[in-house]
Structure 1
Amino acid sequence: MAISTQKRAPRSNAGAGGRITKKDQLIKLLGQKNGADIKAISDKFGWQLHSTRAALSGLRKAGYELDTQKLEGKPARYTILSIPPLAEVQLDAA
């Protein structure tokens, strides 16, 4: 049995006609005028609430500026206020 020593090429994001990731979909959802609440995000992706909060935290750590609107009697809504410079370049290529 021969063992291959070749390495696979790294996967690229949607920019080169590749797949659209859940992160890409989440960014698009939060980029809408009204954004989205935790329950809507969780339902759309089939995530538990703590996973949804972790994804939002991951976006913040990646440099996305998120706004949280807390209206009385309604769940908090999240929207993207700004995108990090490198992400803008990647989104333009898509």
Structure 2
Amino acid sequence: MTTLRLSDLQLVLLSAAAQRDDGSLLPPPDSIGERTPAVDKAIKSLLRRDLAAELDTSDVNGSLPTDRDRLIGVRITAAGRAAIGACQEEEEENRASDEPQGKAPPVSKPPSRPASKIGTVLSFLRRDEGATLEEMIAATGWLPHTTRAALTGLRKKGHSIAKGKRGDTTCYRIATEA
């Protein structure tokens, strides 16, 4: 299976689009800020890779620059959702909505997997033995610098992350909860 390499900007654009009802990549989410040439370049790359598709739109803010007769909107495709793992979440939601409404909900079971990659990192950090950087990278598919940035983000959110050694390898764990 070929692994797609997406920039952080592309990941943010696809994630925001997957959360929108219409699947639009535009306007960019607040975390990105104003629309810049870098955003347009990232969108064009997503279009070339079939992770996004052009559609006619009437929304001036959510359109790409094009000829004046027509506005082009950009929506996430199924391949785009698959690239960020959004398909699996939608399938679970659809399965839940397909269940008969008259039945009582099943007894709650422990979740089979955390809801997000940062949730996965937190579950690893909560273990008694903690987690190595390599374990977190393997579990999330992130690059080392992205994983370290996630640890910094958790610290900024108030998690106390202790750093220790497991043999010769650096190990991280949650010392106290936020």
User: TM-score normalised by the shorter chain: which range applies?
Assistant: 0.5 to 0.7
| Alignment correspondent of 2:127 | 32
The structure whose RCO (Cα within 8 Å, separation 6+) is larger is 1
Q: Shift of the alpha carbon at 1:70?
A: 3.0
Counterpart CA distance in 1 for 2:116 and 2:154 is 13
Counterpart CA distance in 1 for 2:137 and 2:58 is 45
Residue 176 of structure 2 corresponds to residue 76 of structure 1:
no
Identity of aligned residues (%): 31
Q: Shift of the alpha carbon at 1:75?
A: 1.6
Measured on the aligned residues, the alpha-carbon RMSD in Å equals 2.3
Counterpart CA distance in 1 for 2:144 and 2:137 is 6
Runs of 4+ in 1 over 3 A off after TM superposition: none
Structure 1 residues without counterparts, runs of 5 or longer: 4-18, 85-94
Per-residue CA distance 1:7-26 (angstroms, 9 max, x = gap): xxxxxxxxxxxx71111221
Q: Tell me, yes or no, if the aligned pair for 2:163 and 2:172 is still in contact at 8 Å.
A: yes
Q: CA 1:43/1:63 → structure 2, altered by over 3 Å: closer, same or farther?
A: same
What amino acid sits opposite 1:25 in the alignment?
T
Per-residue CA distance 1:12-71 (angstroms, 9 max, x = gap): xxxxxxx71111221111000101000111111111110110010010000000110035
Counterpart CA distance in 2 for 1:26 and 1:77 is 13
Q: Tell me, yes or no, if the aligned pair for 2:120 and 2:140 is still in contact at 8 Å.
A: no
Q: Shift of the alpha carbon at 1:83?
A: 1.2
Residue 108 of structure 2 corresponds to residue 44 of structure 1:
no
What amino acid sits opposite 1:42 in the alignment?
I
1:1-94 → structure 2 map (5 Å cutoff):
20-70=115-165, 74-84=168-178
Structure 2 residues without counterparts, runs of 5 or longer: 1-56, 60-113
Counterpart CA distance in 2 for 1:21 and 1:82 is 21
Q: Determine which structure has more spread, i.e. the larger CA radius of gyration.
A: 2
TM-score calculated relative to the size of structure 2 = 0.35
What amino acid sits opposite 2:154 in the alignment?
L
TM-score calculated relative to the size of structure 1 = 0.64
Q: Shift of the alpha carbon at 1:2?
A: 8.1
Counterpart CA distance in 1 for 2:132 and 2:168 is 9
